[in-house]
Amino acid sequence: MVGVLAQQAGEKAKRLGLPEGTVQLTPCVPGMGEHWAKPSDLPFGPIYGVMGEKVVFVEIMVSQTDFAAGKSWTEVLRPLKGYAIDHVDMEFLPKGHEGYEVPHYDIHAYFVSHTDHTKYCP
């Protein structure tokens, strides 16, 4: 059964145009949707948000240490082909969260309106 679920997830990632090796990390997170990423890209990202059969955001997570040190990143929140950024949400998490337990910023570039994504997974 696990192999079948992994195969289905791989097929969904391919249908959505996600990079090869991308897997589902979390089920539906309120206000965001499912989280998908390549394990080798974690914790920084990119992490992709999916709702149903649609990619709704791309995310990176920047540690407070890297941000304070003045580290730079280029071309990290690029939308997938065919998507355009609607808005960007940036949140500081002083204690981090499961999967990245250090103080950091979650930066989401959404391809849908704020009104739309806040209704996901109530």
The CATH number given to 2-117 is: 3.30.200.270
pTM of the model: 0.90
Q: What is the pLDDT of residues 48-89, one digit of tens each?
A: 999 999 999 999 999 999 999 999 999 898 888 899 999 999
Q: What is the pLDDT averaged over residues 35-49?
A: 96
pLDDT digits (tens, 9 = 90+) for 16-38: 999 999 999 999 999 999 999 99
CB 31 within 8 Å of CB 120: yes
* Phi-psi label, residue 53: left if phi above 0, alpha if psi -120 to 50, beta otherwise: alpha
C-alpha–C-alpha distance, residues 63 and 15, integer Å:
31
pLDDT band at 6 (very low <50, low <70, confident <90, very high): low
